[in-house]
Every structure is written in structure tokens, then in C-alpha cells.
């Protein structure tokens, strides 16, 4: 199971992208529909956000199930999330905007949902760059502090989605609730870790 998990997750994480490619090239009658650029944009963005939330599920699962080896898949899922988010951004720059830099800059400044989306992506860049073993060693304790950027990035990802919905808030609500739960667990755990010390202090007094 332990040895199989990583390759299995690799295949699972690649499947949405593979499916998009099959649809883009019309393999076996599959298609991206009448508006392929928007379909790519929505699907790549949705999978980026889903995988980012999945990355944040790894620690709570490893801790509650007492299976520390689960932590070994976190980096891979995180890098998949970054890949989907980057492709989402590239699709916007190239196919949607045709690299019209003026229009791209105007959108980033004027459209709050794009502003927060780009900000979230920029936060993920240093995490992807410093995800190697070498960088972990070089950065030492600072690595953990830098990688806390994943929390605001995930928040911005949820906001980015929320702010472009027209009327049906069900899907962004599911992501926001999931994120709230994952961040809530961390807050609860941080408090719980402080708790024993307080108790000891009381005993000492």
C-alpha cells in the first residue's frame, strides 16, 4: 500500500489533464464543447483548487490516522496543484487574451477576482521552486515559514472562484467550507498543543 500510493496518486492527479487533452484533440468523439477555451479555463482552475485543498488534507490525515508516511505524497500533490493553476493562467494569457499585455495588465488591476487569482498564483511560485530536497536543507527552519504561504494562497483561490460566480454559489461554497474545515483543524491543533503547557504551569504554581 505504502509503495503503491504514490504512483497511484500520480496517475489519479494526471487523469483530469489527460482527459482534457483527449477532449481537446477530439479522441474517441470526446470534445471540449462549443466554447473550448472557457472549458479549459474552468476545468484547469477547478482542478488546481481541488488539488490545492487535497494538499492541505495530507497533514490532518497523517496526524489523525497516525500514519506519518502519508506525508510523503504531499509534495507531489502540491506540485500537481501548481501545474494545473499554472496551465489555467497560461491558458488565460495565451488562448484567452492572445498575449495582449495591455488588456492583461488592465484586467489584473481592474478585476478583483483576477487580482486575487494572480496573487494566489504568485504565492505558489516560491513553494514550487523550494519544493526540492536541496532547498529544504538549505532553508532549514525558514522552509516551514515560507511554506505557510499555502494557506493565504488557498484562501485567495477560493475567493477567486467565489467572485466570478453569477448566481450558483454551491460549488465555491463547498471549496470554501472544505478550506475552513482544514484551517480550523490546524487552529484547533495549535491551541491544543499549547494547552498542556498552560496546565503544567498551573500545577507548578
**19 lines the binding site for other proteins (CB under 8 A):** no
CB of 167 to other proteins, least distance (A): 5
CB 23 within 8 A of CB 29: no
Candidates 19, 113, 151, 162; binder of other proteins (CB under 8 A) is 113
Among 164, 173, 183, 189, binds other proteins (CB under 8 A): 164
Minimum distance, C-beta of residue 169 to other proteins, in the bound complex (Å): 9
Tell me: does residue 130 bind other proteins (CB under 8 A). Answer: no
In the complex, least distance from residue 89 CB atom to other proteins, rounded to whole angstroms = 17
Q: At residue 182, what are phi and psi to the nearest 5 degrees?
A: -65, -40
d(CA 88, CA 99): 14
Cβ-defined contacts of 148-151 (< 8 Å, 24+): 149/123, 149/124, 150/52, 150/55, 150/56, 150/78, 150/123, 150/124, 151/56, 151/183
Site string for other proteins, 165-194 (x = CB under 8 A): -xxx-x------------------------
113/157 Cα distance (integer angstroms): 9
Give whole-number Cα distances, 192 to 33, 54, 93, 187, 198, in Å.
50, 23, 45, 9, 10
Kindly state the number of chain residues that form the binding site for other proteins, as judged by CB under 8 A: 25
Residues 93-112 within binding reach of other proteins (CB under 8 A): 95-96, 98, 103, 106-107, 110-112
- Shortest gap between Cβ of 38 and other proteins (angstroms)? 7
Write the interaction track for other proteins spanning residues 30-49; mark x where CB under 8 A is met and - where it is not: --xxxxxxx-x---------
| Residues at the contact surface with other proteins, assessed by CB under 8 A | 24, 32-38, 40, 95-96, 98, 103, 106-107, 110-113, 163-164, 166-168, 170
Amino acid at each position: 500500500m505504502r509503495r503503491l500510493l504514490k504512483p497511484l496518486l500520480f496517475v489519479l492527479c494526471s487523469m483530469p489533464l489527460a482527459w482534457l487533452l483527449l477532449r481537446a484533440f477530439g479522441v474517441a468523439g470526446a470534445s471540449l464543447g462549443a466554447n473550448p477555451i472557457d472549458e479549459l479555463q474552468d476545468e484547469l482552475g477547478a482542478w488546481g483548487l481541488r488539488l490545492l485543498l487535497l494538499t492541505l488534507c495530507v497533514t490532518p490525515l497523517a496526524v489523525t490516522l497516525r500514519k506519518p508516511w502519508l506525508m510523503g505524497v504531499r509534495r507531489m500533490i502540491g506540485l500537481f496543484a501548481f501545474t494545473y493553476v499554472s496551465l489555467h493562467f497560461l491558458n488565460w494569457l495565451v488562448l484567452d487574451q492572445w498575449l495582449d499585455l495591455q488588456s492583461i495588465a488592465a484586467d489584473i488591476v481592474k478585476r478583483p477576482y483576477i487580482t486575487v487569482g494572480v496573487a494566489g498564483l504568485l504565492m505558489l511560485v516560491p513553494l514550487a521552486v523550494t519544493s526540492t530536497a536541496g532547498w529544504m536543507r538549505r532553508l532549514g527552519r525558514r522552509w516551514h515559514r515560507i511554506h505557510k504561504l499555502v494557506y493565504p494562497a488557498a484562501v485567495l483561490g477560493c475567493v477567486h472562484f467565489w467572485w466570478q460566480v453569477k448566481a450558483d454559489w454551491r460549488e465555491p461554497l463547498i471549496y470554501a467550507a472544505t478550506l475552513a474545515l482544514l484551517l480550523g483543524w490546524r487552529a484547533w491543533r495549535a491551541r491544543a498543543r499549547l494547552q498542556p503547557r498552560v496546565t503544567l504551569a498551573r500545577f507548578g504554581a
